[in-house]
Amino acid sequence: MVARVTPALMTPPRRSAPPSQADALRALREARASGRRGVPTLLMASGRGGAGTSLLSTLLAVAAAGDGVRVLLIDADDFVGPLAMTLGVTPVASWRDLRGGQVTPADVATPVSATLTLVAGGPPRLQGDAEVSALTSAERRACMRRLSGVMEAADLVVIDCGSRLDTVLAAVTPHSDERLFAVSSTSDPIGLASTYALCKAVHDRHRALPVEVIVNRHEGSDAARCFDAIDAGARQFLGLALHMAGSIPIDATLDTALKAGVPFPEAAAGSPAARAAHGLITRALTAGSHSRPGA
């Protein structure tokens, strides 16, 4: 006699829902309290200017902060420092004012909201009209290291490194929960080669630093093709398997709102780019620390 299979037994097993950002945050804080994780730190960088690291850094920070994550956003640009203008705040000091121990790290931390704090970039703001010499590489690294206490108070640190290699290298600590997000925004060979060159330069100096790729202004199969081209070069010439962190689509809605003067958090709310950034940052918080590149 053949046993009958009831419909209940034929029902496919339910898949567990992906973790929410609240779940990820709870797990992260528990892991940090037990000493199993450090502060997740995302270094946003590109191989050439115009890739959108400032926009993406702000999108990721605002997306996480909106869900209750305590975010420290650092504008590592020591020339212009656009993030303060983007977020509509007026900092008293920039991280360059840390040179020489003139101010404390708390003095350069500007609250944007209850969960988002900005460390502004750009020129020093406490020097008045006095001529200020350019930072050396050692001074830039020292200023970044002095922010470590402020970083420890955050759940997440996002650093906009832009496209200058010396800025990227100054921001690398490194520690087990630090990752480089190489931002690529174009499918032309020169643009893809510049992203590969960034990955190579950082990998040559910090082989233990995990490197992931965000494809900006592309989505779907177009984004996958951009990533595959960069990953193929890294595998062939560096022996490095990259990760694709995600992609951010072109967002005319966000662009129009920003040009109209709408504050960034309001302009980004519900936009396609913001939704993509929310998914990306949730995955970043959920992921554990990597022990080696390509892990």
- Three-state SS annotation for the chain: CCCCCCHHHHCCCCCCCCCCHHHHHHHHHHHHHCCCCCCCEEEEEECCCCCCHHHHHHHHHHHHHCCCCCEEEEECCCCCCCHHHHHCCCCCCCHHHHHHHCCCHHHHEEECCCCEEEECCCCCCCCCCCCCCCCCHHHHHHHHHCCHHHHHCCCEEEEEEECCHHHHHHHCCCCCCEEEEEEECCCCHHHHHHHHHHHHHHHHHCCCCCEEEEEECCCHHHHHHHHHHHHHHHHHHHCCCCEEEEEECCCHHHHHHHHCCCCHHHHHCCCHHHHHHHHHHHHHHHCCCCCCCCC
257 within a domain of the structure (yes/no): yes
Spatial distance between the Cα atoms of 212 and 281, rounded to a whole number of angstroms: 13
Place of tokens 């003067």: 261
Spatial distance between the Cα atoms of 98 and 114, rounded to a whole number of angstroms: 24
5 within a domain of the structure (yes/no): no
pLDDT at 202 over 90: yes
256 within a domain of the structure (yes/no): yes
55 within a domain of the structure (yes/no): yes
pLDDT band with cut points at 50, 70 and 90 for residue 210:
very high
Mean pLDDT of 280-293: 69
> Can you give the pLDDT at residue 288?
58
180 within a domain of the structure (yes/no): yes
> Can you give the pLDDT at residue 32?
80
Q: How far is CA 289 from CA 104, 129, 211, 270, 292, in A?
A: 30, 44, 12, 30, 9
172 within a domain of the structure (yes/no): yes
> Can you give the pLDDT at residue 239?
95
Q: Which domain holds residue 158?
A: 38-73+108-116+137-286
| Closest by CA position to 78, among listed 178, 167, 202, 201 | 167
Mean pLDDT of 198-222: 96
Spatial distance between the Cα atoms of 181 and 53, rounded to a whole number of angstroms: 9
Q: What is the pLDDT of residues 36-71, one digit of tens each?
A: 788 999 999 999 999 999 999 999 999 999 999 999
Task: Report the share of the chain in percent with pLDDT over 90.
Answer: 77
| Closest by CA position to 197, among listed 234, 162, 225 | 234
194 within a domain of the structure (yes/no): yes
pLDDT at 128 over 90: no
> Can you give the pLDDT at residue 188?
94
pLDDT band with cut points at 50, 70 and 90 for residue 31:
confident
Mean pLDDT of 63-82: 95
pLDDT at 117 over 90: yes
For residue 165, the number of C-alpha atoms closer than 13 Å in the C-beta half-sphere is 14
Assign residue 158 the CATH number of its domain.
3.40.50.300
182 within a domain of the structure (yes/no): yes
Spatial distance between the Cα atoms of 72 and 12, rounded to a whole number of angstroms: 43
> Can you give the pLDDT at residue 226?
97
- Distance between alpha carbon 8 and the CA centroid of its chain, in Å? 45
End-to-end CA distance of the chain: 51
268-279 burial string, b = 16+ CB within 10 Å, else e?
bbebebbbbbbe
Spatial distance between the Cα atoms of 74 and 216, rounded to a whole number of angstroms: 20
> Can you give the pLDDT at residue 20?
66
> Can you give the pLDDT at residue 34?
82
pLDDT at 27 over 90: no
Residue 84 carries which side chain, given as an amino acid letter? A
Total domains present in the chain: 1
Mean pLDDT of 28-37: 81
202-211 burial string, b = 16+ CB within 10 Å, else e?
bbeebeebbb
Beta-carbon count within 10 A of 82 CB: 18
pTM over 0.85: yes
